[in-house]
């Protein structure tokens, strides 16, 4: 559930900002894009691209603080899913720049600068939570494997779905 919601809400954030800016945009698990692959107004692309990662970061920060105040390991996937999502997106920059990679390039940084910084920050949140909860490596690896399998399933489903 956490992985699906993370992917859906990430895509929804892209879509919502695109709609707010007056773009005809599709909701998607992979790069959000306008229906005709072009943006109606110059300057709309950056906020639309930023919306997904910003929401995903906010999700991770929210669940980090919720878990910091309580002792509920059932929420851990809601913290881990954003990390896995951004790590996978960062790796995909080798194939095709997306989200943080595109933003990084558009502001004159290297392709991997923002993706790496984002992943380091998210991994820090997961590490702090894992240490605080005294989670064993085996537990972390099981959750990571589960999140990874579900993430890959959703990406493939989205990639090969009828549009």
Q: What is the pLDDT of residues 82-97, one digit of tens each?
A: 999 999 889 989 998 8
User: Residue 157: what pLDDT?
Assistant: 81
List CB contacts of 138: < 8 A, sequence separation 6 or more.
Answer: none
Q: Which helix (H) or strand (E) holds 118?
A: helix 113-132
Q: What is the structure's pLDDT at 76?
A: 92
163 SS3 class: coil
Higher-scoring residue by pLDDT: 156, 37: 156
pLDDT tens sequence across 110-132 = 999 999 999 999 999 999 999 99
| pLDDT in the model for residue 153 | 87
What angle, rounded to 10 degrees, do the helices at 45-69 and 113-132 form?
10
Once rounded to an integer, what is the mean pLDDT over residues 132-157?
Answer: 88
CB 52 within 8 A of CB 99: yes
Q: Residues 15, 143: contact at Cβ < 8 Å?
A: no
Task: Decide: 13 and 55 in contact? Cβ < 8 Å.
Answer: yes
CA distances from 70 to 65, 119, 131 (A): 9, 24, 14
Average pLDDT of the chain to the nearest whole number:
87
Q: Give the tokens for residue 6.
A: 């993370």
Residue 79 has pLDDT above 60, yes or no: yes
Q: Is 101 helix (H, G, I), strand (E, B) or coil?
A: helix
Question: Across residues 30-46, what is the average pLDDT?
Answer: 66
CA angle 80, 57, 140 (to 5 degrees): 10
In which band, very low, low, confident or very high, does the pLDDT at 162 lie, cut at 50, 70 and 90?
very low
């Amino acid at each position: 559930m956490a992985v699906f919601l993370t992917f859906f809400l990430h895509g929804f954030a892209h879509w919502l900002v695109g709609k707010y800016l007056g773009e005809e945009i599709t909701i998607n698990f992979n790069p959000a894009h306008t229906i005709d692959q072009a943006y109606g107004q110059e300057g709309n692309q950056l906020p639309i691209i930023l919306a997904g990662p910003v929401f995903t970061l906010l999700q991770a920060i929210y669940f980090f603080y919720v878990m910091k105040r309580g002792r509920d390991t059932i929420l851990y996937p809601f913290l881990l899913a954003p990390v896995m999502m951004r790590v996978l997106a960062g790796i995909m920059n080798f194939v095709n720049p997306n989200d943080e990679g595109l933003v990084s390039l558009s502001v004159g940084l290297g392709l991997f600068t923002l993706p790496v910084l984002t992943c380091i920050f998210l991994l820090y949140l997961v590490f702090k939570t894992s240490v605080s909860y005294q989670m064993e490596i085996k537990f972390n690896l099981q959750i990571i494997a589960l999140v990874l399998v579900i993430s890959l399933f959703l990406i493939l489903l989205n990639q090969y779905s009828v549009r």
